[in-house]
Structure formats: C-alpha cells, structure tokens
Amino acid sequence: AQTVTQSQPEMSVQEAETVTLSCTYDTSESDYYLFWYKQPPSRQMILVIRQEAYKQQNATENRFSVNFQKAAKSFSLKISDSQLGDAAMYFCAYRRRGETNAGKSTFGDGTTLTVKP
Amino acid sequence: KAGVTQTPRYLIKTRGQQVTLSCSPISGHRSVSWYQQTPGQGLQFLFEYFSETQRNKGNFPGRFSGRQFSNSRSEMNVSTLELGDSALYLCASTTQGASTDTQYFGPGTRLTVL
C-alpha cells in the first residue's frame, strides 16, 4: 500500500521569507501523480501544485515550486516570498495513474504553516 | 461555475443513529470521492463513484455506504453511528474521473457523534 509521510507537523516562516515543507512517500509504482493541497482555516481544500512522476522537470506555480526526487521518493514544497494568506495546513498527496484510481488519493498527515508578520 | 457543495455543513447525532450526507459536484463533473478527516487518522479515502457506480473503496466498515445519482450528486450514509465517526467528511469531484484530473473539494460536513 502507498504511504505518504510529512515529518513536520508545524512550520513557521516570516512574511516575505522562503519556507520548504517536506514530504516522502512509499510506492512500488513507477507512474503516479503527486500533489500539494492547502487547507485554510475555513476548511476548503484547494490544489496548490501537482507533479507527474514521469516528468523530470519540477513543477512551478508562481511562488510555489516543488523539488521532486523520484529515486529518493521525496516531494518537497517551496513557498517563496511567503504571504499572510499562505497560512494554512498543507497536505501532500499521492495518486496512482489509471482510471480506476482516479478518485483515490492518499494523503499525508499535514503540516500547519504559520506566517509571522 | 459553482463549486462543490456539501449539505449539511454541521450535524450532531447520537450513538446508534444513522446519518446521510450530500455532495453536489461541480456541474459537468462525473466523479465524486468521499474522504474522512480526523485529527488522529488524517484524511482517509472512503469511496469513489463514477457514473453512478462505485469504482473504488477504502478500508472502512460496511456501516459506511454511498451512492451516486444520474445527475452526479452523491450521498454517503453512516449507520449505527459510533463516537469514532465524529469527523469532517469531505467530498471531491473531478471532470471525467481520469487520474490526470484535478480534484475539487467541497467545504465538508462536520459530524459530531455524542
């Protein structure tokens, strides 16, 4: 079974600084997707960034970027120029490729990010 | 387009009762997945429905069931509620139910079992 581990229950960052959230996963599959989701205190979970395992290039979305190390099964999220609105719980998630797995994601336990003004 | 909606947002039940939660996906989305979120267990996959058929199921007891209607709206039912069923229940929808699709989450239903 696939597992996703986020070893940092809590992280804090100063506004405008950079922070990196860690995620490792375990799978025997070679083709899969990895995601970072953000869940603000209002509880609506939204997608921050996604990475296809077959792509070597790291995904980037504005201030958010990932460091995907497939061999090490590591998938960290870097937030640059942190803003107060980035404060939330961040979840790392894994999804196998294939139609029958489309709706099933495996999540880590989450990292609560605090942004200090 | 309206986002994923879930009703009710909050629910209080007592042990032994049953409960039904509803999820309306984004218009045009055909796949709906359900997750249970608790402080101790995190986010756990319950099941996924696509075109009115259960396509995937997590490791939950048979007390947890669901269905999907022809308009893609989905309901999940929990019978004989236990204290441990207290959780935030999230549903998520995708367009075609393909693994490349982005899952869009609803705000959740907070269930409290007394």
DSSP state of B80: S
DSSP state of B85: G
Nearest residue on chain B to A34, judged by CA atoms?
Answer: B100
Interface of A with B in 51-90 (CB under 8 A): none
Q: What integer is the mean pLDDT of B51-67? A: 94
Contacts of A27 (CB under 8 A, 6+ apart): A2, A73, A94, A96
Q: Which two tokens stand for residue A84?
A: 């107060």
Q: How sure is the predictor about B99, in pLDDT bands with cuts at 50, 70 and 90?
A: low
pLDDT value at position B98?
66
Q: How far is CA B6 from CA B43, B90, B97, B101, in A?
A: 17, 8, 19, 20
Is A102's CB within 8 Å of B31's CB? yes
Strands B10-13 and B109-113: parallel
Least CB–CB distance from B97: residue in A45, A91, A103: A103
Q: What integer is the mean pLDDT of A16-42? A: 93
Q: How sure is the predictor about B102, in pLDDT bands with cuts at 50, 70 and 90?
A: confident
Instruction: Write the burial class of residue B68 (CB in 10 Å: 0-12 exposed, 13-18 middle, 19+ buried).
Output: buried
Interface of A with B in 16-35 (CB under 8 A): 33
Q: How sure is the predictor about B19, in pLDDT bands with cuts at 50, 70 and 90?
A: very high
The tens digit of pLDDT for each residue in A54-63 reads 888 999 999 9
What is the CB neighbour count within 10 angstroms for residue B99? 20
Q: What is the mean pLDDT of chain A?
A: 92
Is A33's CB within 8 Å of B99's CB? yes
The tens digit of pLDDT for each residue in A30-39 reads 889 999 999 9
Nearest residue on chain B to A49, judged by CA atoms?
Answer: B102
Contacts of B103 (CB under 8 A, 6+ apart): A47, A103, A105, B33, B92, B93, B94
pLDDT value at position B97?
62
Q: Which two tokens stand for residue A51?
A: 């990475």
